[in-house]
Structure 1
Amino acid sequence: MPTAAVVQAGSVPFDIDASVDKAIRLMTEARDNGAEIAVFPEAFIGGYPKGSTFGAPVGLRTDDGRRQYERYSNGAVTLDGPDVERLAEAAKELGLFVVIGIIERLGNTLYCTALMLDPGVGIAGAHRKLMPTGSERLIWGFGDGSTLDTMDTPLGRVGSVICWENYMPLLRQAMYAKGVELYCAPTVDDRPTWAATMTHIALEGRTHVLSACQFITTDAYPDDHPFEVDLPYGSTAIRGGSIIVAPTGEVLAGPVYDEETILYAEIDPTAKTRSHLDFDVVGHYSRPDVFELTVRTEPRNSVSFD
């Protein structure tokens, strides 16, 4: 059976080159251990600014906060830039399908994006987080339905839902309707409750779930990075909790905390088929006569030129 890898590691905050180098090293390690697909955490390229407020109390913005945002923006990447090209080229050379979280810069707005790399075609998808959580809305824009991308791999159809998007039932339903077979959940949610969410989704969608969370300590950030609140795990900024779950709800690997590691699991494509005997949330267990979901997949641009 084919093997999937979930990478639990931290980015190199504000350093694009070093983060890309680290990603390629971990991609190579996963492929050397037999993986055909590797899933990386949310914001692996560009970083997750845990504990920062960007100088934005209600009704005010500070000059220091704007400088923090400038540094964060300078650490983001563009889809057509050389950094993404390096990642895509590495995936091609390794023959590895990759899902990796990036901070994407488009114009003057940043997006939390899950990049999907196909070794044969390059960028197969780029899902922009539809709903940034809490104060993430200050620094990230909102994606739209045009980036609910999936891609075919030898292990099955892959889709990506980022962090707390997984608590949006209609988004999950849309992904199930797209036929997702490997449901990838890049995240920075390191709470113990995350494993229960991933298990629920595996059972609900009858899909393999591959969730990758960062593990990163405060000393990985620059000395002047402002941790403006007390972190719940002390010097550990994000503690991991990555996990792989089968369509039956069986945990195949993880959750693992407090270390960098790569989780591996064999993926049985027929397990999904067997598990649909008694449950298909978009098929025989749905009630379209009562419930209906409409998904708008056209790009939503603020300005259109005829």
Structure 2
Amino acid sequence: RGQALWHVAAWPVLREPYRLASRHFAFEGRCFVLAVATCLKKEELLAAVPAGEKAARAFLDSVPVDEDGFLLEGGVAAYAPDGRPLAAHAAEKGGLHLFEVNPAQALEAAANLDVAGHYSRPDIITLQLRESKA
């Protein structure tokens, strides 16, 4: 109760630093994390640029794409509340991914590492900063 069960991490791409950040968030937040990356074709981006924006269109035309015309090929990864990967990273260029999870894992993980709970004792511990010289 009161604990987040899911976090959706939306990234431009799912390179290793983004996967690592998502895994860390799962571990520290003790929640499931679904990391998703943008899936975008050059033609979709060009369609959003007004015809009069010749410099922008010329720049986009110069950007290389893969054999299917993708600028960003998307991707998905999922992590358990203890940081374990639930599914390997997949750059799918769109698609549907299903993950089966057990919500009790989040509660169990929170009991193992409660970052603001059982060892946080503001009633007996305080931190004070004295700015004057002793």
Structure-2-length-normalised TM-score: 0.67
Q: Which residue in the other structure is 2:115 paired with?
A: 281
CA 1:285–1:193: 2 relative to 1, 3 Å: farther
C-alpha distance in 2 between matches for 1:224 and 1:269: 40
**How many residues are aligned here?**
113
Q: Which residue in the other structure is 1:267 paired with?
A: 101
Match for 1:188: what amino acid?
Answer: P
Q: 1:191 aligns with which of 5, 11, 15?
A: 15
CA 1:201–1:222: 2 relative to 1, 3 Å: same
The alpha carbon displacement at 1:191 in A equals: 2.9
Q: Unpaired segments of 5 or more residues in structure 1?
A: 1-156, 158-177, 292-306
Residues 1:210 and 2:37 are matched in the alignment = no
Match for 1:279: what amino acid?
Answer: L
The alpha carbon displacement at 1:254 in A equals: 3.5
- TM-superposition CA deviations, 1:185-218 (whole Å, max 9, x none): 2332443311111100110011101222221121
Q: 1:248 aligns with which of 76, 82, 92?
A: 82
Match for 2:82: what amino acid?
Answer: T
Q: Unpaired segments of 5 or more residues in structure 2?
A: 50-55, 128-134
The alpha carbon displacement at 1:290 in A equals: 5.0
C-alpha distance in 1 between matches for 2:71 and 2:5: 32
Q: Which residue in the other structure is 1:8 paired with?
A: none
The alpha carbon displacement at 1:270 in A equals: 0.8
Q: 2:24 aligns with which of 200, 211, 226?
A: 200
Alignment of 1:31-110 (within 5 A): none
Between the aligned residues of both structures, percent identity stands at 24
C-alpha distance in 1 between matches for 2:126 and 2:71: 45
Match for 2:81: what amino acid?
Answer: P
Higher relative contact order (CA 8 A, sep 6+): 2
C-alpha distance in 1 between matches for 2:94 and 2:75: 10
CA 1:224–1:250: 2 relative to 1, 3 Å: closer
C-alpha distance in 2 between matches for 1:239 and 1:287: 47
Q: Is the partner of 2:22 in helix, strand or coil?
A: helix
Q: Is the partner of 2:99 in helix, strand or coil?
A: strand
C-alpha distance in 2 between matches for 1:285 and 1:240: 40
Q: Is the partner of 1:265 in helix, strand or coil?
A: coil
- The answer (yes or no) to whether the contact 1:253–1:263 under 8 Å persists in 2 is no
CA RMSD of aligned residues (A): 2.8
- The answer (yes or no) to whether the contact 1:243–1:263 under 8 Å persists in 2 is no
- TM-superposition CA deviations, 1:52-87 (whole Å, max 9, x none): xxxxxxxxxxxxxxxxxxxxxxxxxxxxxxxxxxxx
C-alpha distance in 2 between matches for 1:285 and 1:278: 12
Structure-1-length-normalised TM-score: 0.32
- TM-superposition CA deviations, 1:164-183 (whole Å, max 9, x none): xxxxxxxxxxxxxx521111
C-alpha distance in 2 between matches for 1:206 and 1:224: 39
CA 1:285–1:209: 2 relative to 1, 3 Å: farther
